[in-house]
Structure 1
């Protein structure tokens, strides 16, 4: 069994919440608190949330984490 990690990022809109909710519905678990920061180049707030998931297969760098 392996544990895999993803960092979900998005502008501070409902799209971020939907992205995190989709990951949770696929078995990913929240890892730590969300982060928010201002992107001065684009003039928007950005959000980030780390998620982890236990998988049955061995990790390898070529795997598509979002498809796990």
Structure 2
């Protein structure tokens, strides 16, 4: 995982979405690419379903 994230992705990303298996898969895919979780997840209720957010960060290498 040298250098920058693949495919021109940014170093910092905030993944958001409905709290379901699809969101969990998106986070898992980002971790498999080499991103690390950054901070704690957040959750809210929008009147229909729970919406979650997780920040991820591409690690810096010397």
Gaps of 5+ in 2: 5-9
TM-score (norm 2): 0.75
Q: How big is the shift at 1:11?
A: 0.2
Q: Which 4+ stretches in 1 moved above 4 angstroms?
A: none
Q: Distance in 2 between matches of 1:30 and 1:55?
A: 13
Taking the aligned partners of 1:22 and 1:39, their CA distance within structure 2 comes to 25
1:44 aligns with 2:49: yes
- Mark the runs of 5 or more structure 1 residues left unpaired by the alignment: 57-68
Identify the match of residue 12 of structure 2 among 1, 5, 9. 5
Q: Shift of the alpha carbon at 1:54?
A: 3.5
| In structure 2, C-alpha distance between the alignment counterparts of 1:44 and 1:11, rounded to whole Å | 7
